[in-house]
Amino acid sequence: MEIRKAGDKILKEKALPVTKIDRKIKRLLDEMAETMYRAEGVGLAAPQVGVSLRVVVIDAGDGLLELINPVIVEMEGRETGTEGCLSIPGIYGEVERYEKVTVEGLNREGKKVRIQGTGLLSRALQHELDHLEGILFIELAKSLHKGKGNG
């Protein structure tokens, strides 16, 4: 799958909810995970691969998470950290996020899942869910710079 870059209008659209988890959605999850790993990313949202659906994949170091129609239901604390994005290569920024979040969504089997995240997982969850709202991290960043980051 091709990762869309900043300037592509799909990245600014609010993604649509998934109404039915079928083979197409499962294939989308598989292809998104493969694309994310190949690009050495931490997360990927469906709009980043040109699909306007509320689907994200994340691997913050503890294995693959697949979320369909994810929603943040609890948040706690604030912290600022460096972020990057596969859709904005080579640019990093300091973004304030919640320190801890709880996200609910569906897994590939349609079962409700609840994920609590701190550190990189919390940041990745918030970053990817922003993509579903058409928000890019550069719009939230206090500062931007070129070079290396942990995104």
CATH assignment of the domain containing 55: 3.90.45.10
Position 1 in a domain: no
Position 2 in a domain: no
What's the CA gap between 13 and 134, in Å, rounded? 5
How many folded domains does the chain comprise? 1
Q: Is 88 helix (H, G, I), strand (E, B) or coil?
A: strand
Position 61 in a domain: yes
Position 4 in a domain: no
Percent of the chain with pLDDT over 90: 97
pLDDT of residue 148: 62
Position 140 in a domain: yes
Q: Are strands 88-106 and 43-45 parallel, antiparallel or unpaired?
A: unpaired
State how far Cα 61 lies from the chain centre.
14
**Residue 3 per-residue DSSP state:** P
pLDDT of residue 129: 98
The catalytic residue positions are: 128
Position 107 in a domain: yes
Residues belonging to the binding site are 85, 127, 131
What's the CA gap between 126 and 103, in Å, rounded? 9
What is the length of the chain? 151
Give 145's strand partners. 92
Structural domain of 25:
9-146
pLDDT of residue 151: 43
Q: How does pLDDT run across 74-84, given as a tens digit for each residue? A: 999 999 999 99
Global pTM reads 0.95
Residues belonging to the binding site for Fe cation are 85, 127, 131
Position 75 in a domain: yes
